[in-house]
């Protein structure tokens, strides 16, 4: 959009300058008194969204376990003894049945996840069929399949995919301490492919993995300063999984989680910020604080991929008590 303030009679209107966030600016947000930070986040939120609308996606793990990658937080890595079996890619009709149920329950988007480094061509064909059929139910579609090779994003776009989830997960500086089997740059490459194919980007991260506040601020900067910020930004609180290297990391202060949501909201004003993994361990009051901090989307349904999520009935009751509207 053009900026009339910069236009002159003899030059075309210049685009609005985009703010590039620095880590010290984001750290200054974190350092604000909590009430001041929440106030700023609400101001930004209300300038771009109806503050009482929350988008709800339901997740399904369409291919569980046996992943080649070594992500230290993940129940599905074949490298750790997590007591989770390796399953095959689900048949399309079972996936469509689950999507239909999710729609009846009130989810607007269905997100299908696979424990892969990346999809093989044959598997991608079946996922494309899932996308076509879920889309035909009238739901938005999202998949998270790992790293994409040339041409794969284009195929998913042609199948009708709306969103691709691929998290940066953590600060580039901390990434190598959590994941060694692929790099932060690999993640950026896939995000480029998704963006170039014209698919909406869903990318965020996990906090509570032993990273510093500076690492958290840097993750937000890396997301906000992408050439176009992600349309959807999941903020996951680590769900500790017995058997993984991060099983015993001390829990994060819940207010630090709220601050991270608020910083993401302020730095990415038009993105949907998603209150993601970790909700089952949160009180209703903490979740309400996350919504006040600018979270306006979440996962809905009693499981995430391999771990639990609040029961849909508990979420419905929370929405009624808070006057929230599912969109």
| Binding flag, residue 166, ligand SAM (CB under 6 A) | yes
| Binding flag, residue 167, ligand SAM (CB under 6 A) | yes
| Binding flag, residue 144, ligand DTB (CB under 6 A) | yes
C-beta of residue 294 within 8 angstroms of C-beta of residue 325: no
Beta bridge partners of 2: 15
| Binding flag, residue 206, ligand SAM (CB under 6 A) | yes
Region 266-295 residues binding ligand SAM, contact defined as CB under 6 A:
277
| Whole-number Å distance between alpha carbons of 171 and 216 | 7
| Binding flag, residue 54, ligand SAM (CB under 6 A) | no
| Whole-number Å distance between alpha carbons of 86 and 109 | 26
Distances (CA, A) of 206 to 74, 113, 248: 11, 16, 15
Q: Which is nearer to ligand SAM, 139 or 277 (CB)?
A: 277
| Binding flag, residue 45, ligand SAM (CB under 6 A) | no
Contact region with ligand SF4 (CB under 6 A), list: 65-73, 90-98, 227-235, 289-297: 65-73
Count of CB atoms situated within 10 Å of the CB of 291: 20
Instruction: Decide which of ligand SAM, ligand SF4, ligand DTB, none touches 166; Cβ closer than 5 to 8 Å per partner kind.
Output: ligand SAM
Q: Which is nearer to ligand DTB, 140 or 276 (CB)?
A: 276
Task: For residue 290, indicate whether it is catalytic.
Answer: no
| Binding flag, residue 215, ligand SF4 (CB under 6 A) | no
Instruction: Decide which of ligand DTB, ligand SAM, ligand SF4, none touches 193; Cβ closer than 5 to 8 Å per partner kind.
Output: none
- The candidate with the shortest Cα–Cα distance to 295, out of 270, 312, 272, 311, is 272
Binding site for ligand SAM (CB under 6 A): 73-74, 113, 115-116, 144, 146, 166-167, 169, 206, 236, 238-239, 241, 277, 305
Binding site for ligand DTB (CB under 6 A): 59, 75, 113, 144, 165, 167, 204, 234, 236, 239, 276-277, 304-307
Binding site for ligand SF4 (CB under 6 A): 67, 69, 71, 74, 76-77, 115, 146
Which of the residues are catalytic?
A: 67, 71, 74, 111, 142, 202, 274
């Amino acid at each position: 959009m053009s900026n009339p303030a910069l236009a002159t009679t003899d030059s075309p209107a210049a685009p609005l300058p985009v703010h590039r966030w620095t880590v010290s600016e984001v750290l200054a947000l974190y350092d604000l008194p909590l009430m001041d930070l929440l106030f700023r986040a609400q101001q930004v939120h209300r300038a771009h969204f109806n503050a009482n609308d929350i988008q709800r996606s339901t997740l399904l793990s369409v291919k569980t376990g046996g992943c080649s990658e070594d992500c230290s937080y993940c129940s599905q890595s074949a490298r750790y003894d997590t007591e989770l079996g390796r399953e095959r890619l689900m048949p399309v009709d079972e996936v469509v049945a689950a999507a239909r149920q999710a729609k009846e329950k009130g989810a607007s988007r269905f997100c299908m996840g696979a424990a892969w480094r990346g999809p093989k061509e044959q598997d991608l064909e079946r996922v494309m069929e899932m996308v076509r059929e879920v889309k035909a139910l009238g739901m938005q579609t999202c998949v998270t399949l790992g790293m994409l090779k040339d041409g794969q994003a284009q195929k998913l776009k042609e199948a009708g995919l709306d969103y691709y989830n691929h998290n940066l997960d953590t600060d580039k500086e901390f990434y190598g301490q959590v994941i060694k089997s692929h790099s932060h740059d690999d993640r950026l490459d896939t995000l480029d492919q998704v963006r170039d194919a014209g698919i909406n980007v869903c990318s965020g991260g996990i906090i509570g993995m032993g990273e510093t506040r500076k690492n958290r601020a840097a993750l937000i900067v890396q997301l906000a300063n992408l050439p176009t910020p992600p349309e959807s930004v999941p903020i996951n609180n680590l769900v500790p999984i017995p058997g993984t290297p991060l099983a015993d990391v001390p829990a994060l202060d819940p207010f630090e989680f709220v601050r991270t949501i608020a910083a993401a909201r302020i730095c990415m004003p038009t993105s949907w910020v998603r209150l993601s993994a970790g909700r089952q361990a949160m009180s209703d009051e903490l979740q309400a604080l996350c919504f006040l901090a600018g979270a306006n989307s979440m996962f809905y349904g009693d499981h995430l991929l391999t771990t639990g999520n609040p029961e849909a009935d508990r979420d419905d009751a929370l929405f009624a008590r808070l006057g929230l509207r599912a969109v």
